[in-house]
């Protein structure tokens, strides 16, 4: 709940700041060259600030609604229509709010009657502002959609060229996939099995957000999550994400049973270590992690069936917890195992609910 509030607060803060900047440039483009100094007057800055805050709240609420509607609409055409409607509503609502707060905005040219407001709505100036709103709103929407598709924060890293040259980082990796996936793929058929995976990866979203995880890859029925060490170790989020996801599946077990005749069961392996991070690819670019830590995490996950465990953790990561444990969850030391392709044994721990 606390993370959700922080996420929403950060979202509205970002949107509001973007609109404040947008209104600043709108004022700059509207003033005459010999009166540029007027934009630095206190009243003008107050108007820009208030306009940005109001637009941020209005557009943010409408966009949140658009996001919800989009998840219910299969066609992109309707989504575009709804987005256009959102931008139009934002422009009209801002002008209407400014009309009622004319004293606060200190606007000499703001209409004082509803007739004047109606004339403003039909003026060339308003339609110019409407186009400006549509451009800014669309850019915000595109940025957020692309950022969501790439993974939160990845787009900004691309734009800044942060990983154009390989960098070393210490990270936690969690590999998780569907147990008995081959059996269910044959039983359900390709279409229903794909829908099952879609539903599962949709339902993991809340657990990922709550535990500050980054989605690195989807590979078939497998999902790979990663954290910087500090984020993953905080309140053992790198383990808590698994149990939060299991809790979501448990709450929706009737849906899965009715839709697919089964309740999905996942298994996971977690490991930490140093990796190289780099932007790879020319025709299709992505942020890639290279190093033994990824291979080790994958192989640990592959041992879940052998140890009849749902969650296996490497000794390397276990030692980082410093005695911290998840409430209601016990661990068991399984000993040392020689993973495929490795020369040094790895300690394994099994975590399970009481």
CATH code matching the domain that covers 154-353, chosen among 1.10.10.60, 3.30.70.1230, 3.20.20.70, 1.10.760.10: 3.30.70.1230
pTM: 0.70
Q: How many CB atoms lie within 10 A of CB 176?
A: 23
DSSP 65-97: HHHHHHHH---HHHHHHHHHHHHHHHHHHHHHH
pLDDT in tens, 188-198: 998 999 999 99
CATH 3.30.70.1230 residue ranges for the chain:
154-353
Q: Give the model's pLDDT for residue 82.
A: 59
Q: Give the model's pLDDT for residue 44.
A: 65
pLDDT in tens, 173-232: 999 999 988 889 999 998 999 999 999 999 998 899 889 898 988 988 999 999 999 989
pLDDT in tens, 266-300: 999 999 999 998 878 777 777 888 999 999 999 99
Return all residues near 97 (Cβ < 8 A) that are at least 6 apart: 54, 58
The packing angle between helices 114-121 and 124-150, to 10°, is: 70
* Of 128, 231, 106, 126, nearest in space to 172 by CA: 231
Return all residues near 271 (Cβ < 8 A) that are at least 6 apart: 172, 173, 293, 296, 297, 300, 313, 314, 316, 317
pLDDT in tens, 302-329: 999 999 999 999 999 998 886 555 555 6
> Is the predicted pLDDT of residue 339 greater than 70, yes or no?
yes
pLDDT in tens, 121-177: 677 767 777 777 777 777 777 777 677 666 666 666 666 766 678 889 999 999 999
């Amino acid at each position: 709940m606390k993370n959700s509030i922080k996420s929403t607060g950060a979202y509205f803060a970002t949107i509001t700041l973007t609109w404040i900047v947008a209104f600043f440039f709108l004022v700059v483009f509207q003033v005459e060259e010999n009166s540029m100094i007027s934009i630095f007057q206190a009243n003008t800055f107050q108007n820009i600030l208030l306009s940005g805050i109001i637009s941020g709240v209005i557009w943010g609420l409408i966009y949140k609604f658009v996001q919800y509607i989009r998840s219910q609409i299969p066609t992109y055409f309707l989504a575009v229509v709804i987005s256009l409607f959102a931008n139009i509503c934002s422009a009209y609502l801002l002008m209407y709010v400014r009309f009622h707060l004319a004293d606060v905005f200190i606007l000499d040219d703001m209409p004082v009657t509803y007739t004047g407001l109606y004339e403003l709505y039909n003026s060339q100036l308003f339609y110019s502002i409407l186009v400006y709103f549509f451009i800014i709103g669309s850019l915000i929407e595109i940025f957020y959609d692309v950022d969501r598709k790439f993974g939160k924060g990845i787009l900004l890293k691309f734009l800044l060229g942060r990983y154009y040259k390989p960098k070393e980082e210490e990270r936690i990796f969690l590999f998780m996939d569907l147990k008995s996936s081959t059996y269910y793929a044959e039983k359900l058929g390709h279409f229903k099995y794909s829908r099952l995976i879609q539903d599962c990866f949709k339902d993991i979203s809340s657990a990922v957000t709550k535990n500050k995880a980054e989605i690195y890859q989807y590979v078939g029925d497998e999902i790979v999550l990663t954290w910087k060490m500090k984020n993953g170790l905080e309140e053992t989020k790198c383990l808590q994400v698994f149990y939060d996801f299991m809790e979501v599946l448990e709450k929706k077990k009737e849906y899965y049973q009715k839709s697919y005749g089964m309740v999905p069961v996942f298994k996971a392996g977690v490991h930490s270590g140093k990796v190289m991070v780099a932007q790879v690819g020319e025709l299709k670019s992505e942020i890639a992690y290279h190093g033994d830590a990824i291979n080790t995490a994958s192989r640990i996950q592959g041992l879940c069936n052998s140890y009849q465990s749902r969650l296996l953790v490497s000794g390397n990561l276990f030692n980082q917890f410093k005695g911290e444990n998840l409430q209601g969850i016990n661990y068991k030391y399984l000993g040392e195992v020689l993973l495929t392709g490795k020369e040094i044994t790895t300690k394994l721990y099994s975590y399970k609910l009481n």
